[in-house]
Structure 1
Amino acid sequence: MSTDNSRERLTRAGLNLIQQAISIFDSDLKLAVSNRPYQLMFNLPEALTRPGTSFEDTIRFLVARGEYGEVTDIEESVAARVEQASTFKAHYMERTRANGRTIAVEGAPLPQGGWVTVYTDITEIKRQESLLRARSEELSEQVLDHAEALAQANRALAATNAALEEAKAEITAIEARTRQVTEMTPAHIAHINRNYIYTFSNRRLSSVMPGSAAEVIGKHAIEALGEETFQKINPSFIRAFNGEASVLEITHEPSGRRIRIALTPERDSDSEVSGLFILSTDVTSETQARAALSQASKRELAAKLSSGLAHDFANLLTIILGLQGRIERMEGLPDEAKELAHATLAAARRGGTLLDRIAAISGKRELRPQAVELTPLIEDLAAMARPTLGENVNLQTTIEGLDTPVLLDPGPLQDSLLNLLLNARDAMAPAGGKIVLEARPVQDTWIEFSAADTGPGFSPEALERALDPFFTTKGGEGSGLGLSMVYDQAKLAGGSVRLENTGMGARVVMRLPLRKAKGARPMLVLLVEDNDTIRTNVRDMLTGLGHSVLEAETVDEATALSDLPEVKLVLSDIQLAGEGTGVDLAFALAQRLPVILMTSLPPGDILRASAPCPVLQKPFSQGELAAVLSGVSQ
């Protein structure tokens, strides 16, 4: 016996034990449930007590039998009663049947539609009331009438209260479901009244803006958000209270997160704004990606604008170097002329170095993030930089709260930090001083690197323009591209650079997105590479990361092996022996398995650009491979 049938039989058996007659009709006016007293009370045939029987058929049977007295038009009477039943209103009534017995009929609508009706035989109660009226000379007629009316009113009130309780339970359930949904939303949803008091919150404020109050209902917005954050939002609050919906983005200073806030006015019946609905979303990752994309677009534009000029300039420098070299080697050349030729050669070579730096800033380059341990990286950088900084410079390093590997591109990071150290050294020359290089996390959003020196600090002009290309305070000694390169690398990664004076010198603060490196789960990797030496090297990297490896040399071999259910990822070279390429393999497996391609082809190659999956540039380290595997498998 199925569970549903068992439950239905138990329910029906329980209802049959009740002395009152019960019937439940659904929203389509079909009988859902009835008990045995219902059939006995109205002497109904078995067919009219089965689930699915229409209310109309039951009424027609009762009307035709005279249950409702003498009726001229049966169908008109049936239609009227069906129409009345379809309204599903709570009701109580008492009526005398054709057999002379009196019944009380009490009906209540159900939240999902339909209604339940309870029929009680009150014939004996009515007889006792009649006897009491006839035999008691002490009770006045008015008292009896009032008592009877009160009894009837009490029964009607009980029916209404039951309907209200059912409605209350339904509303409570709806409210609970609504709160559960809003609390699962990865955003803060709230409401404030005109006094800036929170009247609703889904308890997500502290997760969107760390450091804010966890429980805000009943609190003023200043107390919940903090003075600084409130002042940033308040102009939009004022406009919203004046009826203007708005969306703004702010930087939440305590956490460094970028928050998008939507304010929607709530209007009362008089169209006056009585409060605001607030939706706050953390868009830090989106902002970082947007900044990186914007910087990449600027680099591409700069590369297009400068490539032609750089090409012609390089040709001119080549000619100058050649001619001046010939002049310098001429016999009998006066010493003054030799000095001029030597100075011209030095200037031309410096121009070549400047071209290299411009190419480094504006040229196309891909970030290659990998799992990096910052403590050894900065210690190695300090050991490398100290001899260059000189004996008069004391370099101190501090790393806090960054004990686990993070995803960064170590090459550009070291270049940027070295630039900051050299700039600080030059700012303190010739007397020297102290440089403090620090790295720390800002909440769970940024890694903040700072280089502070004890020099004279930035001038007002430098604070405003030092990040611009070619701006320098070193005269002819500087190219003006050092801090520009730092700024470019930070923006390309989705970060930022800030210049400030500390009162004891200058400080440059660079923020990069904090992304903790998580190792990919051990899995079986299908490695496709036709070069034995490279395949062995990559296999050793994979096994060193805890993965199992299955090897293939061609697309056909890889396709056959990819059907094995244990294979979880494919790592393939783009250029393979035989027919087909790694790109063809990636398209063939796109719907079944994640694929990573590796190649020595340059980023602008047409075949590489057609890849539908991540591409790893050869040569790569085990750390770079681990970072790409982590990003694909999680």
Structure 2
Amino acid sequence: MSGLHAHPTLRGSEPMGTDAELAADFRALFGNADIGIAQIDIATRRFVAVNGALCAMLAYDRATLLEKTSDLVHQGDVAARDDLYAGLTATGTAQQEARLIGGDGRELWVRVHATLVTDPDGETRRAVNLIYDLSEQHAAAQRAAEEAERSHLALAAAQAGTWEYRYDPPEMLWSDEVFALYDRDRALGPADVDEWLTYVHPDDRDAALRLGRETEADFFTGEFRVRTAAGGWRWLATRARVVRGPDGKRQRIVGIKIDLTTPKAAEAARDAASARFAAAVAATEGVVWTNDAEGRMIGDQPGWSALTGQTPAEYEGFGWAAAVHPDDAQRSIDAWNASVAARRPYFVEHRVCRHDGIWRDFAVRAIPTLAADGSIREWVGVHTDVTEQRAAERALRDLNATLEARVAQATLERDSAWSNSRDILLILDKDGVVTAANPAWTATLGWPVEAIVGRHYTDFVVTDGQSSSAYSLGDAAHGPLPAFEKRYRHQDGSIRWISWVAAPAGDAIYASGRDVTADKANRIELERAQAQVQEMRQLESMGQLTGGVAHDFNNLLTPIIGSLDVMQRRGGLDERSARLVEGALTAADRAKTLVQRLLAFARRQQLRAAPTDLPQLVDGMRDLIVRSVGPNVAVAVDAAPDLPPAQVDAAQLELALLNLALNARDAMPGGGVLTLAIAAETPPPEAGLPARPYLKIGVADTGEGMDETTRKRAIEPFFSTRGVGRGTGLGLSMVHGLAAQSDGRLELDSEPGAGTVATLWLPIAASAPVASAGPAGVTLEGRTVLLVDDEPLVRATTAAMLADLGLTVVEADGAAAALRLLGSETTIDMLVTDYLMPETNGAELARAAQGLRPGLPAMLVTGYADARDLDLTLPSLGKPFRQAELAAAVTRLIG
């Protein structure tokens, strides 16, 4: 920089060395100094010499810099340069700050110290300049000034105020703005802490107090609400810095308060808008994304990632385009480029591959957001799935394209449905006159269509009061009718049940009818079958009750009959006592027969089913039947030849046939014919038996017959039409029980005045009858029997009867006691046990006993037993019994 000089040598100072030494020192300082140093020719204002630091500072090489003059000075600082030269000329030294233009075009602030230098000849031609770079200091000062201005403007714009708290002595200072923020009169002065808290919202007080009490912090900030004079709340932000003394203790806190009420309201509104935007996007099932101005996808895009399954690395930049269908990609890119160029919203539809590999149609809309200078900052877009919408539109277009053909097809289908429908279709006017009928009318009722069109529908309705509904087709003129049934007359005179539905449309009634004649017959049959099932269930319940009563009655009869029998057999009774015992035994035997009938009805008696020749059995009891029915009734037997044997208990069957014969006799008080017919047939389906051959025994009479009510109750136990004292009412009950327990069935067919036929169906045996031989030469004397029964009275009577037969009797009151005896050394030749006992029944005891003593004969004594439970491989004796029956059973057991 020309015209800038170094300081002259100080006159009057002591010499510091030779001129050569000084020159050498100056050259060393000139070359190595880290500040700019230059010698300037005052006349030409050119650089004579410059050091390396100055070249670096001004960004010039040495040769170029030596060619420069005042053109280095900024035009705005030419006056400062001239002032420097004037001062240098006047005093020989001067300093000034100015701006220089560097070789790279930069402006540098420098401070120049100039001193004139005298040549050896005494002339002053040069100046030495020391040049300091002040650019950084000036920039810092400029920034500080700008920052101060910005702070001042920011405080004014933010309606902020300053405050200060001093510790020693305690004092609070508020600016006018702070008083305004608190709506407080300045004349009152700043509020102390306690009064200040009354301004603060109760929910914010603790947090506000903590701000100033955190003694470790040198800077704190916070937000809280204060009450306004109008009764509302104002949001304030406080920013404060702690000023500490040399000892580290707090001296002052200096801060500002800023009114945040408006920003808070704007923030709340922004949050609400964001929530509305998110809800709107969710409502449209759209996916939101953002791109930069060129269309690159940057940053986290969770919606796009969830839609396509692409990772950030995959969709980054233009990678998102890989998810667009190849056939749609170029069209989408062209539309995008056009929107970017025109800075207008982007609209397009294309297919996108979803994360599950399925292509879906999407409507795409993107809007550019602009920066302050009008340039595009980014694009915000939404992908909305329109797959179903477009499919529906295509279907509608296809539908419209084929409308005429479809109308024709629909007409054809309607006509076809009218003609081919199996249901009757009628159209009537509002008065009930038929205006149209389809061919199903003729197919269902025989009348030609011409016979009904033009006539009133009631002309074909049967009006004898048996129709099941009060509705009629004419009622449909007032509104739709529920399904109802009416009877119509067929052309051949028969009756048909028609189920109708009908509804009005304009001035017409449209009706559809279906022939339900067969359905009604099936319903009647179903109701009959359900009634039979209910009847069988009732009988089963009665049977269970009857069986339980009979079992207990048998246990009562056993000691009675046994005791009377023993007394009679032992003799020694006077004539009167003998008659009484005989009468008691007769009554007990009758009670025994009654109980057997009860057990038969209940299907609880113990049956010994075996192959039985039915014609031979009937022939063998013919005389008994003839004597039982009396001379006024003729007995006829009709047996088919070569019949297979029946699987049945012969003794129980004889009793059943005798009961049926006696019932027939009572039904023919004036005499008649009793016919027993035996054949092999397959029962009809209504019998409820498997479709295979059975043996059939029919017992028919020519008596009074029964009405339906009596027939249904005939097999109920104790039901009788004979009157009091003329029977128990258990005869048919016993036959019914025997048939059911034998896997057969009893059927009754009767009408008043036409007699009764009782049909007994019995299963056919798998083998022929086998004659059995009884034991011979068996003696009971000297044998020991183990008698088990939990009823003391029954056990005592049975023990007496066994002892009277010459047997040694060992008694046990249950299975546990019996097993202890069997496990001991006691001699036991046979086991006689009750069947139904607590905990362990007789069959289980017999098996356990034979496990302890293999081959031990065992016999069950029972009042009844279910076929499921009774071990039929063991001998048994039914209760009650006489001594002779007991003796025979024991003899068979050990024989």
User: Which range, TM-score by smaller chain?
Assistant: 0.3 to 0.5
TM-score where L is the length of structure 2: 0.27
TM-score where L is the length of structure 1: 0.36
Q: Which has the larger radius of gyration?
A: 2
Q: Which has the higher contact order (CA 8 A, sep 6+)?
A: 1
